[in-house]
Amino acid sequence: MNPNRILRIDRIACTGQGLCGELLPELIDLDEWGYPILKDRIVPDRLRSHTRRAVAACPRLALHTDDT
């Protein structure tokens, strides 16, 4: 069984440039100031590589995935 991957944002580190929302619109919306809104915290298998890319691209290292 694959563990669930859970998306988490370090809200203090995040500066709201919104890159994550552009790279992973399936799971992340942006508010009017560019800060992420998680639509779903559980990463479906088909989005694993997209998620990995968004996590790597966050300039503030604010986006994480945790295994549960």
Partner 1 sequence: MNHSTAAPFTPGHRAPGPDSSGARLLAGWHATGRPATLADHLRRYGPPPFTGGTPGLVDSVEAAGLTGRGGAGFATARKLRGVMDGRGPAVVVVNAMESEPGSRKDQFLLAVAPHLVLDGAVLAAAEVGADTVHVCLPRTRTAQHRQLGTAVEERRRARLDPVRIRLHALPHGYVSSESTALVRWLDGGPARPQGSPPRSHERGVARRPTLVHNAETLAHLALIARHGPDWFRQAGTVDEPGTTLVTVSGAIAAPGVLEAPLGTPLATLLDRAGGPTGPVRAILLGGFAGTWLPAENVHTPLARRELAPLGASPGAGVLVALPHTACGLTETARMLAFLAAHGARQCGPCRYGLPAVAEDFAALAAGHAHPELLSRLHRRTGLLPDRGACRHPDGAARLAASAMRTFADDVGHHLTHGTCPAAHRPPRIPVPPATPLETWR
Q: Which residues in this chain contact partner 1 in the complex, by CB under 8 A?
A: 10-14, 16, 31-35, 37
In the list 4, 18, 38, 50, the residue contacting ligand SF4 (rule: CB under 6 A) is 18
Distance from C-alpha of 51 to C-alpha of 13, rounded to nearest angstrom: 18
In the list 5, 7, 9, 43, the residue contacting ligand SF4 (rule: CB under 6 A) is 9
Alpha-helical (H) ranges within 11-68 are: 19-23, 48-57
In the list 8, 15, 25, 37, the residue contacting ligand SF4 (rule: CB under 6 A) is 15
17 binds ligand SF4 (CB under 6 A): yes
22 versus 31: smaller Cβ distance to partner 1: 31
Residue 34: how many CB atoms within 10 A of its CB?
13
Alpha-helical (H) ranges within the chain are: 19-23, 48-57
